[in-house]
């Protein structure tokens, strides 16, 4: 589990295409300190497994295999050699939950729509797949390229976030421009609540709750489920 607090800006230093997968080499001296084969590191919000650790004159880098499913569902397929990436190690048991619960399982991608510069921060508008909009609420949490952010405004196909100077300086959101893709992970707690309420995208067609406490299926819960 991660918290969405980026530890460093890493760099893609090599990409090996393997047909239905790719192997990335990522330079990140902070996140590789104490790392070993099999450990997890989030790269732009995608949980990847360390395959090898390589030392050279410029520091330590790690390699990770990225399957076709991940390349297709995330923006990792758009990365190239020299691309900067947000890196984070998993939270240690008993550590501070600085952001929110982040699994490193990307739900979809959006794109930077607009940036508005203010005196001390920047408002960024990001497109949102329609199927994810129900999980995004004003003042709720969302992960963008591995960064835990608070939603300022939530629309049917977009949301906005306010970025402080630290976030702009220490993450990829400081340099991304309109049209650039970003990885999105919605708050997993919202998805659990939806499933517990029997609104799992039509997988509970009767609209009954799991305990059968609403056998007629005519309560408010069921009206929402069929909306």
Helix (H) or strand (E) holding 170: helix 165-170
- Which domains are seen in the chain, by residue range? 8-88 (2.40.30.20), 108-189 (2.40.30.20)
The string of pLDDT tens digits covering residues 20-61 is 899 999 999 999 999 999 999 999 999 999 999 998 888 899
Residue 182 and residue 146 in contact, taking contact as beta carbons nearer than 8 Å: no
pLDDT > 50? residue 206: no
Whole-number Å distance between alpha carbons of 133 and 131: 6
Q: What share of the chain is helix, strand, coil (3-state, %, to 5)?
A: 15, 40, 45
Q: How far apart are CA 164 and CA 187, in angstroms?
A: 21
The string of pLDDT tens digits covering residues 184-200 is 999 998 888 999 998 65
Q: Name 83's Cβ contacts closer than 8 Å, sequence gap at least 6.
A: 11, 12
> Is the pLDDT score of 124 beyond 60?
yes
């Amino acid at each position: 589990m991660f918290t969405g607090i980026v530890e460093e800006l890493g760099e893609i230093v090599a990409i090996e295409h393997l047909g239905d997968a790719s192997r990335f080499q990522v330079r990140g001296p902070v996140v590789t300190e104490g790392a070993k084969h099999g450990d997890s590191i989030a790269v732009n919000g995608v949980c990847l497994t360390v395959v090898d650790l390589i030392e050279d004159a410029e520091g330590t880098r790690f390699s990770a295999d990225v399957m076709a499913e991940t390349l297709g569902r995330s923006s990792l397929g758009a990365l190239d050699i020299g691309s900067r990436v947000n890196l984070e190690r998993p939270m240690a048991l008993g550590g501070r939950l600085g952001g929110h619960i982040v699994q490193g399982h990307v739900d979809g991608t959006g794109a930077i729509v607009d940036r508005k510069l203010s005196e001390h921060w920047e408002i960024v508008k990001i497109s949102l797949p329609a199927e994810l909009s129900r999980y995004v609420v004003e003042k709720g949490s969302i992960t963008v390229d591995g960064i835990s952010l608070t939603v300022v405004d939530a629309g049917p196909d977009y949301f906005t976030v306010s970025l402080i100077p630290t976030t702009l300086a220490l993450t990829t959101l400081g340099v991304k421009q309109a049209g650039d893709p970003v990885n999105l992970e919605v708050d997993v707690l919202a998805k659990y609540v939806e499933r517990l309420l029997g609104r799992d995208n039509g997988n509970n067609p009767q609209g009954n709750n799991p305990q059968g406490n609403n056998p007629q299926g005519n309560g408010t819960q069921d009206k929402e489920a069929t909306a």
